[in-house]
């Protein structure tokens, strides 16, 4: 059975992910409505009809929407907070392993003893 903190963490992840998707879907709906508005403004209301500026406006907005889609479905999935946490833990383990190996090699050479390390830490803190 999962602990309460683990269940809460899972719930929070799901809630945040749902919010991300909800914002993306809202952005998509807004894009559709805005695109229709640009076309109506340019072609029917005849705001600067000599240019087809609505095409550029729609393409720029489509580019921004595409970045939003990539951010939600690609980048956050593969490089989200969970990925950062795992990578940080892996680096900490790797660093700790290097420190342990260095301590062992120094102990073999007689330069370092575990008792001396505690005293030197106390001297530094004083």
Which tens digits make up the pLDDT trace of 57-102? Answer: 999 999 999 999 998 888 877 677 777 788 888 889 999 999 889 8
Q: Is the pLDDT of residue 7 over 60?
A: yes
The predicted structure's pLDDT at residue 14: 86
Average pLDDT score over residue span 10-26: 90
Q: What angle do CA 90, 85, 17 make, to 5 degrees?
A: 145
Contact 45, 54 (CB under 8 A): no
Contact 11, 23 (CB under 8 A): no
Q: Is the pLDDT of residue 104 over 80?
A: yes
The predicted structure's pLDDT at residue 116: 53
Contact 47, 41 (CB under 8 A): yes
Predicted TM-score of the model (pTM): 0.60
Average pLDDT score over residue span 46-63: 92
Instruction: Work out the percent of the chain whose per-residue pLDDT is above 70.
Output: 87
């Amino acid at each position: 059975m999962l602990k309460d903190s683990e269940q809460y963490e899972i719930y929070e992840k799901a809630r945040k992910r749902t919010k991300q998707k909800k914002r993306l879907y809202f952005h998509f709906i807004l894009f559709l409505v805005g695109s229709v508005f640009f076309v109506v403004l340019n072609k029917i209301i005849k705001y600067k009809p000599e240019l087809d500026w609505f095409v550029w406006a729609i393409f720029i907005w489509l580019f921004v929407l595409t970045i939003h889609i990539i951010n939600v479905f690609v980048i956050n999935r593969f490089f989200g907070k969970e990925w950062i946490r795992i990578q940080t833990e892996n680096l900490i383990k790797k660093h700790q392993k290097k420190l342990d190996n260095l301590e062992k090699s120094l102990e073999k050479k007689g330069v370092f003893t575990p008792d001396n390390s505690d005293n030197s830490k106390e001297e530094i803190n004083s």
